[in-house]
Amino acid sequence: MPIGQTSALMALRDPDIRLMLRVRDDDSDAFSELVERFQHRLVGVMHHIVGSSEEAEDLAQEVFLRVYRTRKKYTPKAKFSTWLFTIANNLALNALRDRQRRPVLPLVVRDSGPLGPRPTETIAPARDEPPAHGLQQQELADVIRRALDGLSERQRVAIVLNKFEDMNYADIADVMDLTTKAVKSLLSRARAKLREALQGYIYMDAAPPESVDD
Amino acid sequence: MSDEPLPPDDIEPPADPFEADLVAYLDGELDDAAARRVEIRLATDPAARQKAAALKKTFDLLDYLPRPEPSADFTTRTIDKIPALKTGPMPTVRSGSQPVPISAVSSSVPVALASGMLARPLVIPRPWVWAAGLLAVVGLLAGYFAAAALRSHPAAREASPDELPLSDRRLVEYLPLYAVADDIEFVQKLAEADYFGDEPSVSFDATPKVPAVDPDKPSGPAFEALAKSFQSLPPARQQAVRELDKQLHAQPPAARDRLVRVLEAYAAWLDRLPEAERRRVLAAATPELRLGVIRELREQQWIDSLPATQRARLTGLSSARKAELIGQWKRAEAERRDEWEDVRRNADAIAANLVPWPFDSEPMRKAVVEFMRVTFQTDEPKKCRLTANELDRHTAALAAAEKNGGWAWYAYGRETFTIARKYEYLLLPEPADPKLRYDDFSDLPSSYTARINPVLRKKLVPHAGKWPDFALELHDELRSVKGGGGPLPPLGPARVSDFQDPVRTFWEKELSPKLSPQERGMLRMQENRWPEYPREFMRLARQHDLSVPGVTLPGSPRTWDRTYGGSRGPAGRQ
């Protein structure tokens, strides 16, 4: 398939697009290289969204397979990573919704299910009773994981893309098919919820800046 | 794209519009006017400041989440799911085996070139002819890149032209990279972090930063075209390319690979530049001017890569204010890189919550804490040398380390290291004789008092009562006066015998036995000169990795640099 002028210009600017164009042209080495290049980011993002390594790998694999299956339809329109994470976003949200529709016992038992205590109740019983300062890294990670699980699916995706993919609001809006204004609201609610859930843990390494009542 | 309606509460206007603005502000997503509104509110509202700090801290906490690696066979398993690819050979891919956290990979582009770099003499006799040769090859290079982007990998390599000497085959293969470089010195300059050097925080990762050049060597028509292009270069330029190839391949393998990565990144960058800008780079008359143009373009690209709202803050500013703001942002970015590097280097120790060196030994822990207390008088706020912020940070880090133990000592170690390095110029051995401790006007020898005019007195007043601050200020001021009226007596200890006991013992037992005759000679030359003598003394101690008691942080200086210096270590030393 000949590359149009716009595509050619974009391809020259973005090495990832160049690679994807090789995938489109059935260069099998290019597909392996693409998988190798993006697997860490995709598995990482998926893990933060779904909370399970195994499921994250399965989903990341499915993203790559979709890339391959739809390769002939690929036309460079934006950054390649935006396109890739759009597919990832769709798959992740579907997986989370499927999970809600067909609740199953998770392999790793967590108490963050819909009937379990709310994250704010389990994590920070009261502002006056901050958790022990000797909290171990793993325990802290578990607490943060539960706080993340306490977000809505979209909030979680937006936070993960913002934090771990360093995406700006416009790119998140592209990936999630929202307006940047909606992304701003989404992230604001998500950050407020995280703040509430983790308030007992944020000054473990230092005193709060000022003592002011909220 | 979504097949379900959005939960309305997610994207409806937030209950607290200020909090939404605050979050967007912290993310660098507000336009200038909105950002200013938030800043004004923050300046006047302690509750808002507390909320901002809490939001930021919460976001930072997410860094504690584990970052899982894909399984080692992830690629193979994925490829195997596609029947058409299943039996295909696995390529040699150039991605690193270790993931790079996205936020650790900076979008930063380099900062200013040190002025000393531009002092190399002009060695290119015919720059324009040279540039024309480069342009011809670069034209071909662009074609080569474009072709590489479109074609499948060739099944077999075709033969090269027979007439080409075997020794030139390699340099023809590398020509797309050599064509855009002047010489090995130019490449080495490009390898600095400010240009196309490896990101310091991912320096362990041998992956080329920009995989623009096809990993396969050019073959068939591509090779022939490159060979022809090489042969059409002027003989002097051909010789320069040969020389570059020779010098590059004379490097140790790791250094050679690093420089090749730099050349790849540079060639790919050049390839993507608009035509007019590419010509500006290539047509520069000297390597130094070329570096200047590259620096200018990289700087502009760095600005262009900033979020729109951040970029908008630059519009309408005076060039001085603009440069100041850009400098601030770059420094903040460098700090983030350093923090990442710390975390990356110490990931295992952090995970195991180990106590870092030197705090893993009780006597050393006490020695460091005592050193900071005595040297900087941290428990006497009025006499303390540190700024209020530094003192607060130091006190908080010490309290947190003592309370939490484990890796919390690292933050304290970094704080002490940063402070000790900042005030290094003041850390000089004290005199045994209090008379040599000049810290006020009343004690000065008459040869000095005679030279102190009202202007100088005014400058010295803020330093009165502090040693060696007062003496150093006086020394520096009088040194800058031309024809100062003959030699002056030293304002501090300027011989080993002038130092206090612990430093004299250190000299006899530790430093002196290690010095070469030349080093002793250099030290002797500075006798009776202050602060030159103690500075030379300190330099020699550091050179031999020795800590001077009561003057430098206890423990090996190199281990301090290695443990707490990161990219701010010895290389960044003033």
| SS3 per-residue string spanning B62-90 | HHHCCCCCCCCCHHHHHHHCCHHHHCCCC
Residues of A whose CB is below 8 A from B49: 209-210, 212
Torsion of CA B87, B92, B93, B94, to 10 degrees: 180
Which range among A111-125, B7-21, B54-68, B186-200 has the greatest average pLDDT?
Answer: B54-68
Question: Whole-angstrom Cα distance, residue B37 to residue B18?
Answer: 10
Q: Is A7 exposed, middle or buried (0-12, 13-18, 19+ CB in 10 A)?
A: middle
Q: From the list A8, A44, A136, which residue is nearest B67 (CB)?
A: A44
- Give the end-to-end CA distance of chain A in Å, rounded to a whole number: 61
Residues of B whose CB is below 8 A from A11: 149
For the full predicted model, state whether its pTM sits above 0.95.
Answer: no
The interface residues of chain A toward chain B in range 48-67, judged by CB-CB distance below 8 A, are 48, 53, 56-57, 60-61, 64-65
Question: Whole-angstrom Cα distance, residue A115 to residue B14?
Answer: 27
Residue A175: closest CA among chain B residues belongs to which residue? B1
Pairwise CB contact (< 8 Å): A155 & B10:
yes
CA-angle at B345, arms to B343 and B347, nearest 5°: 60
Q: Is B415 exposed, middle or buried (0-12, 13-18, 19+ CB in 10 A)?
A: buried
| Residues A196-213: b if buried by 16+ CB within 10 A, e if exposed | bbbbbbbbbbeeeeeeee
Local confidence band at B434 (pLDDT 50, 70, 90 cut-offs) = confident
Contact residues for B122 (Cβ-Cβ < 8 A; gap 6+): B285, B286
Torsion of CA B308, B306, A195, A118, to 10 degrees: 80
Query: Is the torsion defined by CA of B232, B237, B239, B240 positive or negative?
Result: negative
Instruction: Report pLDDT digits (tens) over B500-526.
Output: 999 999 999 999 999 998 888 889 988
Q: What are phi and psi of B14, to 5 degrees?
A: -65, 155
Query: Is the torsion defined by CA of A146, A149, A155, A157 positive or negative?
Result: positive
Within 10 angstroms of residue A181's Cβ, the number of other Cβ atoms is 13
Per-residue pLDDT, B571: 33
Distances from the Cα of B520 to the Cα of B523, B524, B527, B539, B541, angstroms: 5, 6, 11, 12, 12
Q: From the list A25, A207, A209, which residue is nearest B49 (CB)?
A: A209
Per-residue pLDDT, A12: 59
Distance of CA B357 to the CA centre of its chain: 23
The interface residues of chain B toward chain A in range 45-64, judged by CB-CB distance below 8 A, are 46-47, 49-51, 53-55, 57-59, 61-62, 64
Residue B274: closest CA among chain A residues belongs to which residue? A13
- Nearest-CA distance B50 → chain A (Å): 7
Range with the lowest mean pLDDT among B5-14, B284-293, B312-321, B510-519? B5-14
Local confidence band at B213 (pLDDT 50, 70, 90 cut-offs) = very low
Within 10 angstroms of residue B488's Cβ, the number of other Cβ atoms is 16
For residue B431, the SS3 value is strand
More confident: B179 or B357: B357
Query: Is the torsion defined by CA of B62, B68, B70, B72 positive or negative?
Result: positive
Local confidence band at B480 (pLDDT 50, 70, 90 cut-offs) = low
Question: Whole-angstrom Cα distance, residue B308 to residue A24?
Answer: 32
Kindly state the tokens that stand for B415: 């704080």
Per-residue pLDDT, B227: 81
For B525-550, what is the mean pLDDT?
93
Q: Is A152 on the interface with B (CB under 8 A)?
A: yes
Pairwise CB contact (< 8 Å): B400 & A93:
no
Per-residue pLDDT, B318: 82
Residue B431 pairs in a beta bridge with: B499
Q: What are phi and psi of B194, to 5 degrees?
A: -70, -20
Is the per-residue pLDDT at B326 higher than 80?
Answer: yes
Range with the lowest mean pLDDT among A53-67, B209-223, B469-483? B209-223
Local confidence band at B12 (pLDDT 50, 70, 90 cut-offs) = low
Q: Is A213 on the interface with B (CB under 8 A)?
A: yes
More confident: B176 or B409: B409
Which range among B20-24, B102-106, B442-446 has the greatest average pLDDT?
Answer: B20-24
- Nearest-CA distance A25 → chain B (Å): 7
Pairwise CB contact (< 8 Å): B1 & A199:
no
Give the ranges where A14-136 is alpha helix by DSSP (H): 15-24, 28-50, 53-69, 80-101, 119-123
Across all residues in chain B, what is the average pLDDT? 76
For B514-543, what is the mean pLDDT?
91
More confident: A32 or B119: A32
Q: Is A74 on the interface with B (CB under 8 A)?
A: no
Contact residues for B396 (Cβ-Cβ < 8 A; gap 6+): A206, A207
For B87-98, what is the mean pLDDT?
35
Local confidence band at A136 (pLDDT 50, 70, 90 cut-offs) = low
Local confidence band at A201 (pLDDT 50, 70, 90 cut-offs) = confident
Contact of B434 with B408, CB cutoff 8 Å: no
- Give the end-to-end CA distance of chain B in Å, rounded to a whole number: 55
Per-residue pLDDT, B395: 93
Pairwise CB contact (< 8 Å): B2 & A93:
yes
For B290-305, what is the mean pLDDT?
87
Local confidence band at A204 (pLDDT 50, 70, 90 cut-offs) = low
Q: Is A98 on the interface with B (CB under 8 A)?
A: no
Distance of CA B252 to the CA centre of its chain: 23
Residues of A whose CB is below 8 A from B102: 41, 164-166
- Nearest-CA distance B205 → chain A (Å): 13
Contact residues for B375 (Cβ-Cβ < 8 A; gap 6+): B427, B550, B551
More confident: B42 or B170: B42
Pairwise CB contact (< 8 Å): A169 & B29:
yes
Which range among B37-46, B117-126, B544-553 has the greatest average pLDDT?
Answer: B544-553
Q: What are phi and psi of B164, to 5 degrees?
A: -80, 125
Instruction: Report pLDDT digits (tens) over B60-84.
Output: 888 888 877 888 888 888 888 877 7
Question: Whole-angstrom Cα distance, residue B475 to residue B480?
Answer: 9
Per-residue pLDDT, A157: 94
Residue A160: closest CA among chain B residues belongs to which residue? B62
Range with the lowest mean pLDDT among A10-24, B36-50, B479-493? B479-493
For A109-125, what is the mean pLDDT?
33
Is the per-residue pLDDT at A104 higher than 50?
Answer: no
- What is the number of alpha carbons within 13 Å of residue B119 lying toward its C-beta? 4
Range with the lowest mean pLDDT among A147-161, B165-179, B554-568? B165-179
Is the per-residue pLDDT at A199 higher than 60?
Answer: yes
- What is the number of alpha carbons within 13 Å of residue A175 lying toward its C-beta? 29
Pairwise CB contact (< 8 Å): B91 & A33:
yes
Instruction: Report pLDDT digits (tens) over B369-409.
Output: 999 999 888 888 777 888 888 898 999 999 999 999 999 99
Per-residue pLDDT, B24: 92
Across all residues in chain A, what is the average pLDDT? 76
**Strands, DSSP E only, in B371-456?**
none
- Nearest-CA distance B129 → chain A (Å): 28
- Nearest-CA distance B502 → chain A (Å): 36
Is the per-residue pLDDT at B250 higher than 70?
Answer: yes
Question: Whole-angstrom Cα distance, residue A140 to residue A147?
Answer: 11
Pairwise CB contact (< 8 Å): B24 & A8:
no
Residues of A whose CB is below 8 A from B12: 185
Question: Whole-angstrom Cα distance, residue B530 to residue B146?
Answer: 64
Kindly state the tokens that stand for B176: 């797309």
Q: Is B382 on the interface with A (CB under 8 A)?
A: no
Residue A28: closest CA among chain B residues belongs to which residue? B85
Contact of B102 with A42, CB cutoff 8 Å: no
Residues of B whose CB is below 8 A from A145: 65
Contact of A208 with B33, CB cutoff 8 Å: no
Query: Is the torsion defined by CA of B542, B544, B547, B551 positive or negative?
Result: negative
For residue B155, the SS3 value is coil
Within 10 angstroms of residue A164's Cβ, the number of other Cβ atoms is 21
Q: Among residues A195, A203, A89, which one has the least CA distance to residue A144?
A: A195
Distances from the Cα of B431 to the Cα of B472, B504, B511, angstroms: 14, 11, 18
Give the ranges where A102-207 is alpha helix by DSSP (H): 119-123, 137-149, 153-164, 169-176, 180-198
Is the per-residue pLDDT at A107 higher than 80?
Answer: no
Is the per-residue pLDDT at A176 higher than 90?
Answer: yes
Kindly state the tokens that stand for B501: 């006991």
Is this complex scored with an ipTM above 0.85? no
Per-residue pLDDT, B409: 94
For A94-123, what is the mean pLDDT?
46
Kindly state the tokens that stand for B438: 């000049």
Kindly state the tokens that stand for B525: 């030359």
Per-residue pLDDT, B110: 21
Per-residue pLDDT, A7: 54
% of chain A beyond a pLDDT of 90? 34
Q: Among residues B514, B488, B532, which one has the least CA distance to residue B523?
A: B532
Contact of A199 with A127, CB cutoff 8 Å: yes
Q: From the list B12, B82, B101, which residue is nearest A185 (CB)?
A: B12
| Best to test chain A binding among B102, B213, B389 (most A CBs inside 10 Å) | B102
For A73-100, what is the mean pLDDT?
85
Pairwise CB contact (< 8 Å): B62 & A33:
no
Pairwise CB contact (< 8 Å): B62 & A148:
yes
Reported residue count of chain B is 574
Pairwise CB contact (< 8 Å): B68 & A134:
no
Pairwise CB contact (< 8 Å): B81 & A65:
yes
| Best to test chain B binding among A202, A203, A211 (most B CBs inside 10 Å) | A202
Question: Whole-angstrom Cα distance, residue B42 to residue A5?
Answer: 49
The interface residues of chain B toward chain A in range 149-168, judged by CB-CB distance below 8 A, are 149-153
Residue A42: closest CA among chain B residues belongs to which residue? B70
For B438-457, what is the mean pLDDT?
84
Pairwise CB contact (< 8 Å): A206 & B350:
no
Contact of B420 with B548, CB cutoff 8 Å: no
Torsion of CA B533, B535, B537, B539, to 10 degrees: -150
Per-residue pLDDT, A205: 47
Q: Is B66 on the interface with A (CB under 8 A)?
A: yes
More confident: B545 or A27: B545
Q: Is B374 on the interface with A (CB under 8 A)?
A: no
Kindly state the tokens that stand for A168: 């700006």
CA-angle at B491, arms to B486 and B494, nearest 5°: 100
| Best to test chain B binding among A154, A185, A196 (most B CBs inside 10 Å) | A185
Pairwise CB contact (< 8 Å): A188 & B19:
yes
